[in-house]
Chain A
Amino acid sequence: GQQVMQIPQYQHVQEGEDFTTYCNSSTTLSNIQWYKQRPGGHPVFLIQLVKSGEVKKQKRLTFQFGEAKKNSSLHITATQTTDVGTYFCAGPTSYDKVIFGPGTSLSVIP
């Protein structure tokens, strides 16, 4: 079946360092969404990418959707302690169900 993978599973960074998480799908995605879940919290929508090669920025966060629409990345510049949490990518299956990646857990050392 369709799979969505994310790497790395965990990332520990010093505050101020950059961070990148990668999302890879076994099939082409019509769109991809990114969510952030703080420890003890619930997932919160960050962004949706739809077009091939699309790049969107939100302050220190940069999201990219691959040309083949099978991969995506989230890059955070100069991490802060408020960036701590798990970042999930999510994409639709061919049956219009949403499949979430396993997430990348980010720890920021002050």
Chain B
Amino acid sequence: KAGVTQTPRYLIKTRGQQVTLSCSPISGHRSVSWYQQTPGQGLQFLFEYFSETQRNKGNFPGRFSGRQFSNSRSEMNVSTLELGDSALYLCASSLAIRTYSYNEQFFGPGTRLTVL
């Protein structure tokens, strides 16, 4: 079974631009969650989508948004990029048999975003 894939793997943007990241979950997984990983803040939860609905949201500004499509693929968008948005953005999928937090998460390789 193919793992979680994320595109692009690397991205360089300038302040003020916007960016869209893509995540394809493992086949059959309906839950997709997004995380931001930085050396200073560690792994921080952004949001979780299940059946095209956002079920959970972390403490990030409204510039961070996402969506999920009917095939469970998900996109994350960051508008008006700031230098502090430079990070590794990880997507994870899970079966979500129970609630989100009870499920083993399978992480993708991440998208390394650099904001100049």
Contacts and interface: CB of A to CB of B under 8 A. Distances in A.
Contacts of B107: 35, 42-44
A92 interface: yes
B105 interface: yes
A103 B43 CA distance: 9
B70 interface: no
Nearest to B104: A45
A104 to B, nearest CB: 11
A31 B37 CA distance: 22
Contacts of A45: 104-106
Contact of A100 (B43, B100, B109): B43
CB-based closest 8 A-B pairs:
A92-B101, A100-B43, A42-B107, A45-B104, A102-B42, A43-B107, A97-B56, A96-B101
29 contacts: A30-B101, A31-B101, A31-B102, A33-B105, A35-B107, A41-B109, A42-B90, A42-B107, A42-B108, A42-B110, A45-B105, A48-B102, A48-B104, A90-B43, A92-B99, A92-B101, A93-B101, A96-B56, A96-B99, A96-B100, A96-B101, A97-B45, A97-B48, A98-B33, A98-B100, A100-B45, A101-B42, A102-B42, A103-B42
